[in-house]
Chain A
Amino acid sequence: MSAPATEDSRPALAALPPEALAALDLFALGRQAASARDARWTGRGFFVRTRPPEGDGPEGDRIVRFPFKLGESDTERLDRLAETAAAAAPPFGIMPAPVGEPFGLDTLRCFALCRLALPRVAHVLADVTTLGPRLAQMAFGFGADELFAPIVAERALRLGANANNPSLTRKEAVTLIRGAGLVPCERMADGSLQEVAP
């Protein structure tokens, strides 16, 4: 186990080569990814109430899913991310999408890699549907900056057949983002950003 890093020994933010990224422990990787996110978005975390159909957004946006599955190495994932990183027109956002049931730590590493390997991609999205609200929130500690969930006016109790309903109220989305230590910020239909006051 590598020596635990401290606040003061936080590595300077720099584009790290893939082999250096793959060698980082969980906490170092998380720190790097969160710093990269904050450098871009100054401590804000986003949610969107009404999403346009895919590929039809106000910023001409495209949100691409990045499928990952258990058992892959960081290097394999970084190889695939390199293709997206080199694209002539990088996507507006990337959304890690687990194939099969996601595991916690594996998923968090994957988020950090997405953030660090794709400096030209503005948003890394945490999908409440596939991750559940707990893990989606934790992803904000590992470089995610946007919550991806149906935002509804009211939701039914998560019981029985409704137990895994990914819908969140606006208040729940705000609570999750604020709880992750970020300033919740709504991206409006016209692309403007609106911070939510505490």
Chain B
Amino acid sequence: MSLAGIRDKVRTGEPLTLEDGVALYEHPNLLEVGTLANEVRERLHGDRTFFNRNMHINATNVCEASCMFCSFARLKVGDAGAYTMSHEEAFGRLRARVAAADAITEIHIVNGLHPGLPFDYYTELLAGLKRIQPSIHLKAFTAVEIFYFAKKFAMPIADVLAALRAAGLDSLPGGGAEIFAARVRKKICDDKCTGDEWLDVHRTAHQMGLRSNCTMLYGTIETVEERVDHMLQLRALQDETGGFQTFIPLAFHPDNNALMKLPGPTGTEDLRTYAVARLMLNNIPHIKAYWIMLGVKTAQTALWFGADDLDGTVQEERIYHMAGAETPQVMSPAEIIRIIRNAGRAPVERDTLYNVVAEGAALASDKPFRRDVRRGLEVVS
């Protein structure tokens, strides 16, 4: 299918096929693909570009799974660098934000698959955070974790979700999807749930009325066909349930893990993947450029290649920073607003469910900010 043919389909709302997706990946001119993705982005959202005020809690990095792309996990308690937060430690993080009058609306919680923690560690973690700030939205536990809880505690997935929801769970993050293709999973993450199991957790959550996000890890050993197939499987579930809010392509970071011989995706590959995702996933409302792993400059550029969301302020992200992410661990709202405005877009502060918190004049001004400025090495030509 030529790009002109794909353009016609996009304009008439006809879903793209696997073949179309591969053609978009292989089209020699990235700008042509970007133009089309931007057309869809602007049709859906105009210039509006979303962000939120959030913090991350990665309560433990002890993890039974040994995914080759991961720099975060430690296999056993007591391994160098292994940690597990006590409840008080985790609660302390939120109390500190509350004390700083930091108006966060969401906590994003993702952990390792810790073999030794009881189920009530997790329920109490959620309940305790809600006691401190009842209005906070808890977006917690990837489908991989939910599936692990179901197996470990011998409960149906729906019961795990119901118990966590009763304790305060509001929605699921999209992590752990990696690439659904069995060939790739066998090689890079053989000991976590399969693609079908991942989808099944989200299906169950959606049926219970919980919203969730979805992701794709790209840039390891997967083929272009496998990426597009991954998107198509997400699109099929979305047709069934409508529960996904946002798709987040996650760029593989090669440092400090078992795949560090791979080059990792480059900037143009990042932009291409955002553009293809926007075009393939016609039924998922938002595409998020997660600045933590893309880097701020690439994330900003992605706002013209299909993305309409930058994620949030993010406090203390650990997973990608242990894989060599060069980004700071926090951005102020003023800084995010400035980045969006500089891209010629209109910033909108949202909550986790995409209700508008503030936009236009109601947003804080984009006054100058301080950030860790990169110290470049001086090179003489």
Contact = CB atoms under 8 A, between A and B. Distances in A.
Interface of A: 1, 4-8, 26-27, 30-31, 34, 51-54, 63, 70, 95, 100-108, 127, 129-138, 140-141, 148-150, 157-159, 163-166, 172, 175-176, 179-181
A134 B298 CA distance: 7
B244 to A, nearest CB: 26
Nearest to A26: B304
30 contacts: A4-B36, A4-B39, A6-B7, A7-B3, A34-B31, A101-B371, A101-B373, A103-B296, A103-B297, A104-B296, A104-B343, A105-B303, A105-B344, A127-B379, A133-B267, A134-B266, A134-B295, A134-B297, A135-B295, A138-B267, A141-B30, A141-B268, A148-B379, A150-B379, A157-B256, A157-B260, A159-B256, A166-B379, A175-B263, A176-B266
Given A7-B3, A104-B298, A163-B324, A179 B266 contact: yes
A1 B300 CA distance: 18
Contacts of A52: 381
B324 A63 contact: no
B4 A138 contact: no
Contacts of B29: 7, 181
Contacts of A136: 267
A134 B375 CA distance: 17
B361 interface: no
Interface string B1-19: 0011001000000000000
Interface of B: 3-4, 7, 28-32, 34-36, 38-39, 42, 46-47, 255-256, 260, 263, 266-271, 294-301, 303-304, 324, 326, 339, 342-344, 371, 373-381
Given A7-B4, A138-B267, 6 more contacts: A103-B297, A103-B342, A106-B342, A141-B268, A158-B255, A163-B324
A5 B36 CA distance: 9
Contacts of B260: 157
A138 B342 contact: no
A132 B344 CA distance: 22
Contacts of A135: 267, 295, 297-298, 301
B132 to A, nearest CB: 34
A63 B42 contact: no
Nearest to A165: B377
Contacts of A132: 295, 297, 326
A5 B35 contact: yes
A27 B34 contact: yes
The 10 closest A-B pairs by CB, nearest first: A134-B267, A104-B301, A104-B297, A104-B300, A137-B267, A138-B267, A129-B376, A179-B266, A27-B35, A135-B297
